[in-house]
Amino acid sequence: MNSVRAANRRPRRVSRPRPVQPERNNGERGDDVPADMVAEESGPGAQNSPYQLRRKTLLPKRTACPAKSNMEGASTSATDSFGHRAKRARVSGKSQDIPAPAEQYLQEKLPDEVVLKIFSYLLEQDLCRAAYVCKRFSELANDPILWKRLYMEVFEYTRPMMHPEPGKFYQINPEEYEHPNPWKESFQQLYKGAHVKPGFAEHFYSSPARYKGRENMLYYDTIEDALGGVQEAHFDGLIFVHSGIYTDEWIYIESPITMIGAAPGKVADKVIIENTRDSTFVFMEGSEDAYVGYMTIRFNPDDKSAQHHNAHHCLEITVNCSPIIDHCIIRSTCTVGSAVCVSGQGACPTIKHCNISDCENVGLYITDHAQGIYEDNEISNNALAGIWVKNHGNPIIRRNHIHHGRDVGVFTFDHGMGYFESCNIHRNRIAGFEVKAYANPTVVRCEIHHGQTGGIYVHEKGRGQFLENKIYANNFAGVWITSNSDPTIRTNAIFNGNQGGVYIFGDGRGLIEGNDIYGNALAGIQIRTNSCPIVRHNKIHDGQHGGIYVHEKGQGVIEENEVYSNTLAGVWVTTGSTPVLRRNRIHSGKQVGVYFYDNGHGVLEDNDIYNHMYSGVQIRTGSNPKIRRNKIWGGQNGGILVYNSGLGFIEDNEIFDNAMAGVWIKTDSNPTLRRNKIHDGRDGGICIFNGGRGLLEENDIFRNAQAGVLISTNSHPVLRKNRIFDGFAAGIEITNHATATLEGNQIFNNRFGGLFLASGVNVTMKDNKIMNNQDAIEKAVSRGQCLYKISSYTSYPMHDFYRCHTCNTTDRNAICVNCIKKCHQGHDVEFIRHDRFFCDCGAGTLSNPCTLAGEPTHDTDTLYDSAPPIESNTLQHN
């Protein structure tokens, strides 16, 4: 389309008057400025003035004619060849030249203010020549005020525009510049160029005497005419476009020209190039090193509807060209076509310091294998994406500010690529960054935040590498991955989201590695609906919800993460999900460490799970995980809790130092525990009650504060080949109508005794070894001691206990046999049963003091079972 458009475009108009070339004296220095403009004069710069007024001294009396003759001679010499020293009269062949009185007066006596006033009427070449007269003239001719006036007359800039090398322009503050006269230096750098200044060309070419020495400056009324002058032999391709609005010019650039706005103040606001019918600028093959800068470029069609025109653009950059677009304001009110379109193999522009905003379509569109460097641009409030990258486009985009878009911030799709670095992407209506349909961008050290939906959205087989970014304060998830997409999310900070951190769903994949994910309102990482990411080496902490939430058949490999200090569970696994959690540290949570519920499955192996306010692991409602080789300790509510028909294979774990039982099994749950070491608990080892079952096989249960195994309330587990030893209470206690199958267990060296069966309990026993227990209960009874003496109110020895009707004890009070014999001798007493209790008489809670025990306690309620664990309630959090 571009080639057809170029072939059919109207021919350029090249209409300018030929400049009149004035005759030159043979002795005059050349009018080509560089030799004169580049010269550096000696002596301090004029900016070190203010100059002190020099009073004229009286000249010695001379005859009138010689003096007049000498002045006339000096005047004529200076007029004929300004910039050359006047010939000096010789006194003798051996003496030095002595200045004539008039020349001496001009060079030494005339006040600085007068000389500066005279110099202010000179143009730049004459001013340079005057600087060669003497050291004083050199200082005065270098005055920055003189050069600022000349500079602003020609270029209009209110600050010097430096041009140190091709393709590089920047304005400076004169007071902060290291060179003593930046106005002159910039004049020298910009001197040779064409000027588009409507209405001035006729005046310039009709006054050759007034502008003598400016033959290297060309003036045109239109940009098209200036572009037509590119072939002039003395023209080096530099075009200054002065203040004004230039409308509907055909600007097709096919050569390495440089076009820059020239205006006072903020230059780009004063130089406006606009088209209403065609693309405003079109760069074509041959414009490899072209430069356009410091202007406003607009495409503003009269009819903005899609039905009446093809896609046009403010800037259109086609195959095999690499222009520089610098410090431009780019606006398009067209609803069809992006503001900037870069397309085709070899299209590789540099677009920097531009403002691409308030457009009614896409801001910047890079497609069809185009590349380019896009740096330090402001891209905002565009109707569609701030940036589109498509069809193998592969730009480098650095330090851009992409914000307040009415759609997505950056959209890469259909095999689009690109390298995005240190961009600030925020407050866009949809995602900050969207990746779709095999797109594969690299996004490094960007900030993606305050999106009205999500931060990063990767879907429909999108890929991409997102490295070292800050992703925060987005209304939805910081990162969304869905529909067979497989990005790499590494070493990012993903925090303070109004929903979750990373959300993977709908068969999403991805590598989520080394990220810091914290402070999000929902789960730090959420995996659902058959998604299977790799999640490793992340820190997931201080969330207002859970750490990792795997549900609706979610999968994934979750390994070597640190998950801590989250408000709800560190890891949730539910509704048919089967993740593998391996070598993670899950700790310091405000509820459960790992929570399997509603048919949550998966593998939990080689993890450290510790210091949770609830249990380290909970399993409920049909969940059946494999829990292997974990260390589970420091739980305030126990190590593992299996309840409400929970299942699970719990093997080779080390479960220790939990505030309550190492393992709880209750309410029709039926797990398998094999080869675990359950030790040093601050309560019991394993507690099974309320219809709990389970197979306990080959476990080592030792050094626990309460019973190694407590079986209660209609439970019926199978204990086979376990070793239960060195406990600080009983080895096994079975109470409250529970039953059990005990086969091949070894029960030894427990303080209270080996096996205790409450009244009415029947067990099946085979090949158990109960030996070498300390039997502290029977010894206390035989010595006539109150059993409270050995139990205090922290444990519950099993023995016969009674009521005393005389002392009006309640059903919740219990009295040991020795207190019945001693303290309640002769009272109306009743045998209740053989069961777990502590003695209320010894505890001092009855009306009469115990004669066998020591100091009383204030506890008034004998408990027959260990305190029940706290169960997580998921309904309020789903």
Q: What is the pLDDT of residues 661-672, one digit of tens each?
A: 999 999 999 999
Which comes out higher in pLDDT, residue 420 or 233? 420
Coil, strand or helix: which one is 216? coil
| Cα 776 from chain centre | 64
pLDDT digits (tens, 9 = 90+) for 694-739: 999 999 999 999 999 999 999 999 999 999 999 999 999 999 999 9
Query: Residue 687's beta-bridge partner residues?
Result: 664, 710
| Cα 402 from chain centre | 13
CA–CA distances in Å: residue 339 to residues 186, 223, 245, 383, 856:
32, 21, 19, 11, 87
Closest CA to 147 of 187, 117, 202: 187
By CB atoms closer than 10 A (0-12, 13-18, 19+), residue 685 is: buried
Give the other-Cβ count within 10 Å of 53's Cβ. 9
CA–CA distances in Å: residue 142 to residues 42, 81, 139, 154, 577:
10, 20, 5, 18, 81
Range scoring the smallest mean pLDDT among 34-38, 57-61, 153-157, 324-328: 57-61
Range scoring the smallest mean pLDDT among 164-178, 233-247, 537-551, 601-615: 233-247
One-letter amino acid for residue 27 of the chain: G
Q: Compute the mean pLDDT over every residue in the chain, rounded to the nearest whole number.
A: 86
Closest CA to 266 of 329, 195, 191, 330: 329
Q: Return the beta strands (E) in 159-305 as ranges.
A: 161-165, 168-171, 193-196, 217-220, 238-242, 244-247, 251-253, 258-262, 271-275, 281-283, 291-293, 296-299
Average pLDDT over residues 300-327: 84
Average pLDDT over residues 159-188: 93
Q: With 80 as the cut, is the pLDDT of residue 865 above it?
A: no
- Residue boundaries of the structural domains of the chain: 105-142, 317-434, 798-843
> Cα(351)–Cα(290) distance, rounded to whole angstroms?
12
Closest CA to 625 of 611, 610, 608, 640: 640
Q: Which residues contact 779 (CB under 8 A, 6 or more apart)?
A: none
Instruction: Report residue 101 as tokens.
Output: 């009185």
Under the banding of pLDDT at 50, 70 and 90, the label for residue 334 is: very high
> Cα(385)–Cα(402) distance, rounded to whole angstroms?
10
Average pLDDT over residues 81-97: 39
Range scoring the smallest mean pLDDT among 179-193, 820-834, 851-865: 851-865
- Prediction pTM value: 0.84
Average pLDDT over residues 23-50: 38
| Cα 306 from chain centre | 37
**pLDDT for position 854:** 62
How many CA atoms within 13 Å lie on the side-chain side of 97?
9
> Cα(230)–Cα(253) distance, rounded to whole angstroms?
11
Q: With 50 as the cut, is the pLDDT of residue 42 above it?
A: no
Under the banding of pLDDT at 50, 70 and 90, the label for residue 789 is: confident
**pLDDT for position 45:** 38
What is the domain class of 105-142 according to CATH? mainly alpha
Coil, strand or helix: which one is 452? coil
